[in-house]
Amino acid sequence: MVNNATAKLQEPVLVYDGDCSFCKFWVSRWRRKTGSRVTYVPYQEVPDGFHGITHAQFRRSVYLITRYGQRLHGAGAVAALLQLSGHSTWHWLYHRVPLAGTVAEAGYRMVADHRDFFYKLTRLVFRNDA
């Protein structure tokens, strides 16, 4: 399924940085919520140019590729993923509240640019989680 860069997907694919502790922590949580409705793949396991996205782009941001080939990244990808897990509030806010998407993307960028710090903070807040 992940081998063909242009094939229609059986389910959405979330591509993330498999070397990032912060990313792996959140993917583990999301995977428990979405079950088999989403496939999770480190970008290191997909070919460069997978669905038209370079490894450099994958290093910078998480990508959700829908079954129909739509490519979402950053906070928009997370909002769509949360909707797939049954939590539609963030998706609704992202798309319906003025400036919410802009603020969410700025927050995403800040976290993505400081992953180590936010991983440590996440581990403090979610002490009992994997």
The answer as to whether 49 is a domain residue is yes
Question: Which amino acid is residue 3, in one-letter code?
Answer: N
Q: Give tens-digit pLDDT for 87-109.
A: 889 999 999 999 999 999 999 99
Strand partners, 72: 64
How far is Cα 50 from Cα 22, in angstroms, rounded to an integer?
23
Mean pLDDT computed over 19-45: 95
State which residues form the domain around 20.
13-121
> What pLDDT sits at residue 129?
65
pLDDT of 30 > 50? The answer is: yes
The answer as to whether 81 is a domain residue is yes
The answer as to whether 7 is a domain residue is no
How far is Cα 37 from Cα 2, in angstroms, rounded to an integer?
15
Question: Which amino acid is residue 58, in one-letter code?
Answer: F
63 and 53 in contact (C-beta within 8 Å)? yes
Helix-then-strand count for the chain, H and E: 6, 4
> What pLDDT sits at residue 6?
52
The answer as to whether 127 is a domain residue is no
- Quote the number of domains for the chain: 1
The answer as to whether 129 is a domain residue is no
pLDDT band at 1 (very low <50, low <70, confident <90, very high): very low
pLDDT band at 3 (very low <50, low <70, confident <90, very high): very low
The answer as to whether 111 is a domain residue is yes
The answer as to whether 2 is a domain residue is no
Name the pTM for this structure.
0.88
The answer as to whether 30 is a domain residue is yes
